[in-house]
Structure 1
């Protein structure tokens, strides 16, 4: 509850500051309402041109409104009215405070209203004069207060005139001839309903802060949810990458149990055609010619012509690359051939390298 009260007070102060700042941008001159005698007021214009001064007796808002000329009614509409009240309307009480309290003078005065006056801070209209230093560490100010009920008729009067705001000012104490250079004390500034209404600004500020808080909360929640999902996806992806790397390592290390291992084994076990031809050229004699060669996995089939075909079997068996050499078809000899036509099938050893 205390926090809510402090928040409401802060919002109210901010709203009044905004309204006051916007109101000061209003280039229209203000209107002065000066109390010359008890409940007798004179209306003055602060502009260069305006209706002549007009005085009236405040016996009621409606009566005063009827007594105000139409020119003045048109002039005060939407204007700032500065009401200067006689000092005998107020209760004046001196107040001594520590010198460091000058920065917090208004809250300090508010806290002392119950002790200095018969009214509470909510039931009074009050202010204080400029502080005066009375010693090295003490200051003195004069608290000025009046019951709010005595001021309400003036507020209602300004509302009936459709004024923008009312500023209440307490005239200094003393006979009029001694107030040649008065130090009037400003008490309150009351903004009336309209485009510069402090209550409306307060509601707008409260709504804006609530919307901003909800947006921030929603943004934080969405960020947390999306961040959690992204972290989970990143974790799953990292786990899959690690598993894939482990699988690849196991595939290389245990190639016998994988397709990669079978491919690697096939590559190692099969002899390359270039190597087979190179090894075969080293084994066969110069007078032997190969006319056809076929490699089928670990078997080599060769067809050709040689002067001594049976000797080829022995040469192939003695090689480090071939084994189980046999004739796959009978050896023949044609009339126009330079030797015997042979068909030999020979096995290829698993290790294919080195020389004969």
Structure 2
């Protein structure tokens, strides 16, 4: 069941995609043509004419035994000459003699009278714009009294509608009418680029009724020069961009070479700064540790006040947070009690036994105590601030 649904949905999706593409492509083409036309409108008319940017063609109209020649430029025809056309055998030479060389090289179009053909307006899906001529070929038998084999035709888009459809115009001319007009032109007919139809007001419709096998395709004599100039311009552009890139690379290399000494100095300064920062941190740490312990002067002052006069020291040492006292005293057993309660140390104690000294009649003692270490986190900063303030 699912496979059947998918198989039936696939053609519908393809049809919707084709319809969407058919609606978008004509609009995109129209937008592109409008944009290029608007850009070209900024150029002076004479410059556009010299550069070949204006659509130009020669329009030939038969009026009885006369041939009217007009120049159509940007959709505006301008009469050039009216030539008697009794003998068409020498028509090519006559046109070449009458027209300027620049005009003689332009594409020639025969414009049939408005009454020579039949015009019908058709409403078709927008997707038919891609193959409009093939689509309208099936409408000739139904819309006109001419059989398809005995008529020449062309079609053009008149308007695009918002409902996904377009209005097209079918133009049909009997083949015999076209053949008679070409026979009247004589050899000039072999130089035609196309055949158009008058719209009844002196303007051409912008279609081509001439079969493709009879159209004269003119080659632009300046095409090779234009291609050569375009190739040279492209090469010059690539060379210029390459030169700019090379200049940028050279400038970047020069900047890098000039920056290397500065970068080296910056790195050396960064290393010195780091060393200085480490030194400052070390000094700050030492200052903090020193501020947390009592100074030697304070220890000596406290000992001189607490030790009795009958006691003298042979050795006084401070190792980390440990105070070591070695000396002689006649009151060695009472020294611990005398040293207790000091704010500079704590837990004083005798180490080992007392040893009598017969010469001095005193006891040799060894006494230890733990220094009182306080937490002084901001001691250097406080001291520096104090000094600065003083």
Whether the TM-score (by the shorter chain) exceeds 0.5 is no
Greater relative contact order: 1 or 2 (C-alpha under 8 angstroms, separation 6 or more)? 1
Bigger helix share: 2
TM-score by length of 1: 0.40
TM-score by length of 2: 0.38
